[in-house]
Amino acid sequence: MTNTIENKYTSNFVSPPGKTLAKILKERKITKTEFASRMELPKKTINQLIKGKAEITVCIAYKMELALCVPSARFWIECERLYRESLANQID
């Protein structure tokens, strides 16, 4: 018989995915204007994504994957899910 220990760690803090996006854009020296152009979205939407005010939808996640030239749509979708779940839990 084996005993398994389940990891029940939960973080009290989850940052908006936009914070990660802002870091990536800075590291790659991509302006918000250039990124908006690559995404075919208004710059205002990019600013809202970075601030966590706009959600990263599946469609936006795939556009981000193409704009950043990295297979990362699933990463962005999961980050967004965790962030929104965290916000919902704070309401209680």
Percent of the chain with pLDDT strictly greater than 70: 84
- Residue 76's alpha-carbon distances to 5, 20, 92, in angstroms, are 29, 10, 26
Those residues with Cβ within 8 angstroms of residue 73's Cβ, 6 or more apart along the chain or in another chain = 58, 61, 62, 64, 65
Contact 22, 51 (CB under 8 A): no
Give the residue among 82, 79, 86 at the shortest CA–CA distance from 60.
Answer: 79
The arithmetic mean of pLDDT across residues 27-50, rounded, is: 97
Is pLDDT above 60 for 10?
A: no
Mean pLDDT of the chain: 89
Give the residue extent of every domain in the chain: 17-91
* Element at 30 (helix H, strand E): none
pLDDT given at position 6: 57
The arithmetic mean of pLDDT across residues 3-19, rounded, is: 68
Kindly report the CATH number that applies to the domain delimited by 17-91.
1.10.260.40
Is pLDDT above 50 for 9?
A: no
Is pLDDT above 70 for 8?
A: no
pTM of the predicted model over 0.85: no
